[in-house]
Amino acid sequence: MVRVGTSGWSYPSGKGTWNGVFYPKPRPRGFDELAYYARHFDIVEVNSTFYRMPEAGPVAKWVERTPREFQFAVKLCQKFTHPDMYLGRAGVTDWSPSLADVDLFRAGIEPLVAAGRLHSLLLQFPASVHGEPAARDYLSWLLEVLGAYPLAVEVRHPSWFAAGADTVARLEHAGTALVIADDPEANKRPRVPLITSAPLVYYRFHGRNAAAWWHHTAAENRYNYLYSPSELQPYAAEIAAHASAGRKVAAFMNNHFSAKAVANASVLRSLALHP
């Protein structure tokens, strides 16, 4: 009922690389990062699918490289959730996700579905996307066309929960999990009730490096934060309580700088499974 892992498994470069911290350095011949990761955790949140559409061939290899009980939570491609980022790509002049795009994404993750290895899909919207009526209607469209999969939605701008906004009602109607996110901006968002009709509870931990969250020389610096056990303990208690109530819980550490996510995922899992 409880799975804890990290957001991504490959961080090969930069000051926050996992090489020599979690992965060996130098590497043995034929070393496989994903296979090695899967010996330590039973789930991973895939972030490569955010930057480009998944392709069935490489995705099928993920299945082959991991044990049968290993699960994948897949992040939806930026074309669906990050209009500013997508429009900033070279040669892109239009943001208009279509059913054809949905079908392309679905085809890419089909090997996970066929093998029973898809845990959930993550729909993460940035703070730049506000909870305006048009955005909420678009979210409802996504929930409908992707409704065949277990879904979790993360929204970051407080307007999604402003008076009169029906965000939670839309998610509850679709049986979709609202991501419980911990980051330096978390105290600016209301802690809304969990969606009782969703069988999934989904946590994401981005770290609390407030100084580098919006101002940093390298993107990886905003995730340079190590949680203390006392900071994780309240979440671990929540996770244990949800699991005891029969709900499926997934938690992912995104404070990936220098494999701090690996250390914190291990601590959180231990605290949650041995309260």
DSSP 19: B
Q: What string of pLDDT tens digits covers the 275 residues of the chain?
A: 999 999 999 999 999 999 999 999 999 999 999 999 999 999 999 999 999 999 999 999 999 999 999 999 999 999 999 988 777 776 767 778 999 999 999 999 999 999 999 999 999 999 999 999 999 999 999 999 999 999 999 999 989 988 788 998 899 999 999 999 999 988 777 666 655 578 899 999 999 999 999 999 999 999 999 999 999 999 999 999 999 999 999 999 999 999 999 999 999 999 999 87
Tokens of 263: 């250390």
Query: According to the model, what pLDDT value does residue 84 have?
Result: 81
Helices 167-174 and 133-145, interaxial angle, to 10°? 10
CA triple 170-176-182, angle to 5 deg: 100
Count CB-CB contacts under 10 A for residue 263.
17
Output the CA torsion sign for 163, 147, 118, 222.
negative
Count CB-CB contacts under 10 A for residue 20.
12
Tokens of 155: 């929204």
Q: How far is CA 253 from CA 56, 63, 149, 204, 239, in A?
A: 26, 22, 22, 6, 14
Query: According to the model, what pLDDT value does residue 244 have?
Result: 93
Tokens of 107: 């085809």
Query: According to the model, what pLDDT value does residue 196 have?
Result: 55
> What distance separates the 2 farthest-apart alpha carbons in the chain?
58
Count CB-CB contacts under 10 A for residue 115.
16
Cβ burial, residue 34 (10 Å; 0-12/13-18/19+): middle
Given its phi and psi angles, is residue 135 left (phi above 0), alpha (psi -120 to 50 degrees) or beta? alpha
Query: According to the model, what pLDDT value does residue 83 have?
Result: 84
Residue 238 and residue 76: Cα distance in Å, rounded? 26
Q: How many domains does the chain have?
A: 1
Query: According to the model, what pLDDT value does residue 161 have?
Result: 86
Query: According to the model, what pLDDT value does residue 142 have?
Result: 97
Residue 192 and residue 68: Cα distance in Å, rounded? 35
CATH of the domain at 224: 3.20.20.410
3-state helix vs strand vs coil in the chain, percent to 5: 40, 15, 40
Query: According to the model, what pLDDT value does residue 198 have?
Result: 83
Supply the range of the domain harboring residue 126.
2-273
